[in-house]
Structure 1
Amino acid sequence: MTTETPVVVGVVHQNSGPGFVVYACQACAAHYPPQPEILTVLTPPGRAGSVQ
């Protein structure tokens, strides 16, 4: 199905190349669960030499 008014329903991040954006029509977008923001989900890595 194609639409004149696509809605972003997700962003896929990848380690091995560029990610991509997932679009849906406005009617279908309501059926997609909200996606967490990847930068708020990840914990920061520990520094080398730091004691944990």
Structure 2
Amino acid sequence: MLGSKVSVPLPPSLTTVSDQVSVLGLFFYHFSHLLGSYNTFSWECLIT
């Protein structure tokens, strides 16, 4: 799953490192947040 995050193409307008970092940070934050509840649920199912 982490590999797919790296392979996501960035818009040509985002040329500065700060913009790329902020975009990747927001994407990773939302991506982790959305999967957070699912991962917790699946891990609880595996543990129990």
> How high is the TM-score relative to the length of structure 2?
0.24
> As a proportion of its length, which structure holds more helix?
2
Task: Choose between structure 1 and 2 for higher RCO, CA contacts under 8 A separated by at least 6 residues.
Answer: 1
| TM-score normalised to structure 1 length | 0.24
Which protein has the bigger strand share? 1
Larger radius of gyration: 1
